[in-house]
Amino acid sequence: MKILLYNDTYKHVGGAETYCLELLDKLPSMGHEVEWLAHGDDSPREKHHDVLPDYNKGRFNYLVSKYFFNPKAYRGIRKKLEEINPDVIHLHHNRYYTFSVMKAIKDLAIPVVQTIHDYTLLCPSQYYPDLYYDTPGTKTRRENCSLICSQGSCLPTTSRLAHPFAHDRKRRRIIKNMPAFIAPSLKLKEYLEKAGFEKVTYLPFFVDEEKWSFDMNRKKKNKVLFIGRVETNKGICLLLDSILKLKKEISDLELVIAGDGSELERIRKKVKTENLEGFVNTVGFVGYDKVNQLYNEANLLVVPSLDMEQFGLIGIEGLASGTAVIGSSTGGIPEWCIHGETGLLFDAGKPETLDDTIRAMLLDDDLRNRLTRKGMEFVKEKYDERKHFSSLLELYRNAETMM
């Protein structure tokens, strides 16, 4: 089977790109031909990577591409699809050229399935990061948010007026034109079905046991790790505040921040002006092949997302590597960070609870070691690679029969 993975960004910024790269690595060993198609300014890094230009530069082109139809993008995408001629297309993020991609696929009658990687189709304010940290109205937003709306008071006025004609229309068209969807978490599947999505299959991510093997010689100390986009909605500001408070109690405490984002420079300036070097270490973006080393150098991974994290792929990577994990109580995180069994949860609606949760995990060796052992056992059983690909390939075959 010839499989095309489509993602609208080529830069490796999150779990969707990580998952695409894993599929690109694993599927050929199962006898399948795989290509990855994305958009960006970079040259392809590997033989089976195809990179189209960004057709949405400029405010006008961005809005047209995202909410309507971009003829130039359509022509470029269709031409590349004709060249690759896949048996099935596996869509991932398709936020920026939604209608252009769907029309090209429909015109060429190519079977397709789509993995939904976040809540942006349901929540128009998903990427308004200023809503998530230390801003007026945050509590009201969390208490009243039903995710499936475009009328919420959390939206800026112009967006609140425009989204019923853009965001909601886009969601309805996707539901109508896409035959099958994949949700990596049960929580996301639940919300998609509430919003009218049909034929949604729950298929969680998988763990590569060899890649995330446990290092028995790891150095145990109070090193806390954050991996991900350095943005307010990912909880980085909240985590940094908690670590600064706990520094007074735990003398050898260290925070390692791995990732890139809009908050990175602000945090680096804070580290410099407040003489926090050696206590807070910002390492920037780390290649996927080096992430396991970070897990094995830390004894606690914190996933402090304040928005609805659909899954949190780094969490199961950390658990598989034998790193204790703390996660927020949002989205799909509690599905793998089971409180008191595989990790500890803090209430995202009560950020102050993160301090106590980190303190408990770092100061109680027996608790941390018990959760670590159970976490490793849990991810190996729950997120089995063979089960994942068996289900995924069945979805591909079913997509072919739907045409």
Which H or E run contains 397?
helix 385-401
Determine the residue type at 99.
F
Quick one: pLDDT at residue 361? 95
Domain of residue 17: give its range.
2-206+384-401
pLDDT at 144 over 60: no
52 in a domain, yes or no? yes
Distance CA 240, CA 60 (A): 37
The band of 162, judged by pLDDT with boundaries at 50, 70 and 90, is confident
**Mean pLDDT of the region 201-210:** 91
26 in the same domain as 146:
yes
Looking at the fold, whether 299 and 393 belong to one and the same domain comes out as: no
For residue 125, the domain's CATH number is: 3.40.50.2000
Between CA 121 and CA 397 the distance in angstroms is 26
In a domain, 310, yes or no: yes
- Residue 218 included in any domain: no
Based on the domain organization, do 371 and 391 belong to the same domain? Answer: no
Residue 134: what pLDDT?
A: 41
Query: Is position 212 within any domain?
Result: no
Domain check: are 193 and 241 in the same one?
no
Instruction: Indicate whether 396 belongs to any domain.
Output: yes
Asked if residue 358 has pLDDT above 50, the reply is: yes
Mean pLDDT of the chain: 88
Domain identity same for 40 and 66: yes
Q: What is the pLDDT of residue 147?
A: 65
Model's pTM, two decimal places?
A: 0.90
The whole-number average pLDDT for the span 140-169 is 66
The predicted structure's pLDDT at residue 327: 96
Where does the pLDDT of residue 136 fall: very low under 50, low under 70, confident under 90, or very high at 90 and above?
A: very low
DSSP code at position 384 = B
Residue 235 has pLDDT above 80, yes or no: yes
**Count of structural domains within the chain:** 2
Which pLDDT belongs to residue 129?
A: 40
| Contacts of residue 330, Cβ cutoff 8 Å, sequence gap at least 6 | 305, 306, 307, 308, 309, 348
Same domain for 362 and 397? no
CA atoms 161, 135, 230, 382: torsion sign:
negative
Return phi, psi of residue 324, to 5°.
Answer: -65, 145
Judge if 173 and 34 occupy the same domain. yes
What's the chain's length in residues? 403
Are 360 and 393 members of one domain? no
pLDDT of residue 168: 86
Provide, rounded to the nearest whole percent, the portion of the chain with pLDDT above 70. 90
**Residue 398, pLDDT score:** 93
Distances (CA, A) of 12 to 8, 9, 45, 308: 11, 8, 11, 21
Instruction: Tokens for 166, please give them.
Output: 């853009």
Which two structure tokens, joined as six digits, stand for 200?
Answer: 């949604």
Q: Are both 367 and 230 inside the same structural domain? A: yes
Q: Is 363 found in the same domain as 393?
A: no
In this structure, which amino acid lies at residue 261?
G
Q: How confident is the model at residue 315, as a pLDDT?
A: 94
Query: How large is the average pLDDT for residues 40-69?
Result: 92
Mean pLDDT of 250-268: 91
**pLDDT tens readout for residues 301-319:** 999 988 788 899 999 999 9
The predicted pLDDT at position 307 comes to: 79
Decide: 154 and 131 in contact? Cβ < 8 Å. Answer: yes
